[in-house]
Amino acid sequence: MSDRSDSPPPALDPNTLALLTQFIGEKTAQQQRFDALTEAAAAEDAPTKYPSVDEYRATFAEDWQLSQFWYTTPFAERFAQLLHGLCDENTSIAFLCCPTAWVAFQHLKPLDNAKLLEVDGRFGVLAPRNYIRYDMEEPLAIPEHLTNSVDIAVVDPPFLNEYTNEHIVTTLRKIMRPNAKLIVLTSTSVESILQRLYDTPPLGPLRRTKVEVLHGQLRNDFGCWANWEGSEELKC
Ligand SMILES: C[S@@+](CC[C@H](N)C(=O)[O-])C[C@H]1O[C@@H](n2cnc3c(N)ncnc32)[C@H](O)[C@@H]1O
């Protein structure tokens, strides 16, 4: 055994160290922003204030285990405009598994009945009354008041497979009104699954719209489908 007490301690390469320091700095800043939001939301009778999409993206790190890949800010903002064009102040609109779309929509003009159904509880700090914890593994475990109540459902299924879409379809059938509008944003790789599972009213048949879905960190080819006549022409 050699005596190593004289050897210098192992050192990181300066470039790696700089990257690590930057990463830790970003994580700390993100956590501080999140803590500030939590504190503001906890203050009694604080008005609900939705962050801009840029603020949101800087505060809520993507968790890739949960398949979180946020839309770009320009896309989320254009999509929010498009959705508001389909709503009036009484519209009940549900965002399933698409928090960026919900934040962009509510930041532009908040509606009382714009709900986010999502498994990630972090979003509850933004608007506790508009966030509904939803796990697609338990597709019918949602508050009873949502049954047959939704005029517009917007969904970005978390995983690109039949199993996930079957569960999402079960939830949609429970919450959508008979003539409700449905918008699905997902990968083109599951188009045949969509055509099969979302085939009858109120869910479908689905038509591919002209909306081009853009993400910051995801290069999959995405599309946007909707269920009403004329929706083929939707774009933003
Ligand atoms: C493919 S991402 C879509 C996000 C979208 N691109 C956006 O920017 O808003 C899917 C979302 O589903 C959520 N999710 C993951 N697993 C889930 C589950 N079991 N039940 C419900 N939502 C889930 C993730 O937290 C994530 O926000």
Our answer on whether the CB atom of 97 is closer than 6 Å to any ligand 1 atom is yes
Q: Contact 116/102 with Cβ under 8 angstroms?
A: yes
Domains of the chain (ranges; CATH) run: 14-233 (3.40.50.150)
pLDDT in tens, 15-48: 777 777 777 777 787 777 877 777 776 666 666 8
Give the three-state DSSP class for 59: helix
Quickly tell me which residue has 């970003």 as its tokens: 26
- How far is it, in rounded angstroms, from Cα 189 to Cα 220? 9
Our answer on whether the CB atom of 194 is closer than 6 Å to any ligand 1 atom is no
Q: Contact 100/53 with Cβ under 8 angstroms?
A: yes
CA of 14 to the centre of ligand 1 (A): 37
Tokens for 64, please give them: 């890739």
Single-letter amino acid code for the residue at 197: L
- How far is it, in rounded angstroms, from Cα 106 to Cα 186? 22
- Is the pLDDT reported for residue 203 higher than 70? yes
- Is the pLDDT reported for residue 10 higher than 90? no
Tell me, what's the pLDDT at 5? 61
pLDDT in tens, 108-149: 999 999 999 999 999 999 999 999 999 999 999 999 999 999
